[in-house]
Amino acid sequence: MPEPTVAQVVNLSQEEENRVKEFSQRILGKTAVGVVTYPLTFAKTLHQIGHEPFPLTTGKVFVFAGRDAYFLPNTFKYLKNVYKDQGFKTLFTGLDAGILSHLTGGVFSFVTELYLDRYYPEIGGKPSGAEKEEAEMTDHESFNFHFRKAVRDTICCTVGTIVSRPLTVVMIREVAQLVGGEQKYNSLCGSILRIGFEEGPNGFFSGLVPALIAQGITIWGCFALSYGLERALVRAQEGNPDDEAAKKATKDARSVLRVVVPFFVNSFSYPFSVISTVMSLNGSGLAVSLLPYSPSFNYWGDCYDYLKP
């Protein structure tokens, strides 16, 4: 008798099985991209904790025009300097924890999405409008559709962020210890054991609250802007619904908005991402978490007050 497949064991429908296959391909692709671009994550982490040890560069305020000014090295020059000083391998410090954090967060978010769709389809509102194009919806239908998606995305992403947080903390600490030249967090398993022994469960979730706030700002900011701009595009097309040029312009505008809206919203959530990274080092005992590098913070709000302009 042949062994049952995973889909049969967990009683997946054909639609759910197809979604699982699509998700598997998607997350594997994102993971591969994440491995290749990990040095950018490495540099971003060091930027967020304020580690800028390299000389300033000079240039024009407006790239090719304006007065001369001093600038911090951009990310690529920063990585080039790290490569020269510490070698290629250093650029991938924390890769193991970072990739596992990405996989864990993605898988648990997706599993939560499947669970909600199967057992709680009406959380956030009744499932309607998905089969319609944006132009075919009324304002009320469009609002309900986008609002429901935002509510459910918030739940799914929150679960993924909480479950993957310990691995994110390990990744940040593995990178941050380079500032003081320390060797405290050298392996994934060793780092997890050290955090558990020295700090207990709280250590694994350092910086969680500002991370959730940043995530919430991103989701709900994108919801508000996307809804408003989508309806504005629909209004603009109402006068000439059969104009092919107008349809193409609207389609192109939507493609641009999918990129621009998250980029714009991230400018508001980024400060909380920085606070989350800084608070991840709280209690680690690393040099970068102590004076003269940084004061110690008992609460993420203290960090916010310290860093705000």
Which residue range forms the structural domain that includes residue 180? 93-307
Answer whether residue 81 is part of any domain: no
| Backbone angles phi and psi of 120, in degrees to 5 | -135, 60
Mean pLDDT across the chain: 91
Mean pLDDT for 124-147 is 85
Is 73 contained in some domain?
no
Structure tokens at 136: 């075919």
Residue 251 lies in a domain: yes
pLDDT, average across residues 12-38: 95
Give the H or E element holding residue 199.
helix 188-199
Query: Does residue 227 form part of some domain?
Result: yes
Q: How many domains does the chain have?
A: 1
Q: Angle of helix 38-48 relative to helix 75-86, nearest 10 degrees?
A: 100
Domain-embedded: residue 31 = no
Looking at residue 4, its pLDDT comes to 53
Q: Both tokens of residue 166?
A: 């310990």
Domain CATH for 217? 1.50.40.10
Mean pLDDT across 236-243: 72
pLDDT tens sequence across 111-124: 999 999 999 999 99
* Domain presence at residue 44: no
Question: According to the model, what pLDDT value does residue 252 have?
Answer: 86
1 falls in which pLDDT band (50, 70, 90)?
very low
Q: With respect to residue 100, please indicate whether it lies within any of the assigned structural domains.
A: yes
pLDDT per residue as tens digits for the range 41-83: 999 999 999 999 998 888 887 777 778 888 889 999 999 999 9
Task: Identify which has the larger pLDDT, 238 or 137.
Answer: 137
Determine, yes or no, domain membership for 18: no
